Each structure stands twice: as C-alpha cells, then as structure tokens.
C-alpha cells in the first residue's frame, strides 16, 4: 500500500529523472515539488524501457549523494552511458518509460553454498549483489518478474558478472537489499 508521501516522492523522482534527460535534448521539463527527502543521501537505479524492453539501467548501490542528484545522474547515465546500448536519441525519448528504484542499504548475505543461497533468497523481495574477485553484478528486486526461479535468478546474475552460470566458489560474496520503485505509466 502506498501512502500519499510515497506517491509525491515517486512523482518527484520520476520527474527528476525525465527532466535530466529532457534537458540534455533541450526539451521542456516538468515542475518537481520540493521534498526534504530529496536532499537526503540515497542510492537509486534508473531503468529505461521501450515497449516493455530494457533500454538502459544504471544506478548506485550505496547512498553517497543527495537523492535528487543521484536520480538525475543515474538517469543521464542510463540514457547515454549504458555500454549495452547506443546513446538514447531525442526521437526515442518520447517512447521511453522511466522507472526509479530507491535501494535500502545492502546487507551481507553469508552462505556456505549455492544451494543455501537459492534456498534463502526471497523471490520478488531481494535485490542481490554478487562479487567474486574483480567480478561484480547486481539484479534489482524487480528482475524476479522476468526470472522468478531462484536458481535461474542466481545463474543469470553470475553470467552478468562474467562468470559461468554454474560457477560457485567459497569466496563468492553476496549482499541483498530491498527497493521501493516507481514507474511511469
């Protein structure tokens, strides 16, 4: 259940993300209602989609700058610097939908085996950060919508990190986090 303050925060974050990209194209922007929460440190991800398909996704796992700044910078990065996609064009922008996720602080998720990780993961709830040596990748909680099976979720996360889907080593490090998200209709 969302509250009125959550709805206002969500609208402000979505407008901030859209405005950052619109300004880059010299397009008009929307008024953002000020909120004290926007000045507090926050970790966000901005996801761009077109016709339900990913078009860019960049974010911060740790709160290191004001929420308003984090969303604007991540929106620009998702639009113009996601290495998986060409930079967004002004023509594409009109058909691009914005989603903003505000993350909770990641917490260590110690496990002794992949089987234990799969058994303890909470589908639809947990965002997951995987690290092994220099390799690192994360999936937001909403990735469960596309990968509802915990074993497949973890396998795809390992692939994203540049590891084999069946890779496991005792030095694999996992952290989990939650997220509140808002999405343009």
Q: Are 166 and 119 in contact (CB under 8 A)?
A: no
Task: Using alpha carbons, list the distances in angstroms from residue 77 to 59, 82, 86, 98, 149.
Answer: 8, 6, 12, 13, 30
Q: Mind listing the pLDDT tens digit for each residue in 52-75?
A: 999 999 999 999 999 999 999 999
Q: Where are the beta strands (DSSP E) in the chain?
A: 43-50, 53-59, 97-103, 107-108, 127-132, 135-139, 173-177, 179-183
pLDDT at 6 over 90: no
Q: Report all structural domains of the chain as residue ranges with CATH numbers, in order of start.
A: 4-103 (3.30.700.20), 107-178 (3.30.1490.150)
pLDDT at 161 over 50: yes
Q: Provide the pLDDT confidence category of residue 29 given band limits of 50, 70 and 90.
A: very high
pLDDT at 171 over 50: yes
Q: Mind listing the pLDDT tens digit for each residue in 123-151?
A: 999 999 999 999 999 999 999 999 999 99
CB count within 10 Å of CB 106 equals 18
Output the pLDDT for position 1. Answer: 44
pTM: 0.90
pLDDT at 2 over 80: no
């Amino acid at each position: 259940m969302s509250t009125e303050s959550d709805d206002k925060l969500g609208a402000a974050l979505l407008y901030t993300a859209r405005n950052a990209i619109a300004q880059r194209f010299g397009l008009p922007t929307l008024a953002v209602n000020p909120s004290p929460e926007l000045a507090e440190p926050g970790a966000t991800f901005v996801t761009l989609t077109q016709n339900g398909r990913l078009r860019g996704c960049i974010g911060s796992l740790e709160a290191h700058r004001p929420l308003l700044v984090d969303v604007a910078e991540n929106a620009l990065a998702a639009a113009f610097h996601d290495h998986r996609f060409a930079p967004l064009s002004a023509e594409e922008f009109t058909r691009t939908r914005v989603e903003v996720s505000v993350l909770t602080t990641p917490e260590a998720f110690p496990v002794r085996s992949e089987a234990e990780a799969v058994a303890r993961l909470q589908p639809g709830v947990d965002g997951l950060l995987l690290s092994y040596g220099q390799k690192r990748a994360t999936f937001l909680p909403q990735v469960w919508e596309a990968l509802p099976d915990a074993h497949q979720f973890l396998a795809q996360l390992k692939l994203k990190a540049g590891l084999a889907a069946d890779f496991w080593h005792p030095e694999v490090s996992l952290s989990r986090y939650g997220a509140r998200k808002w999405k343009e209709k």
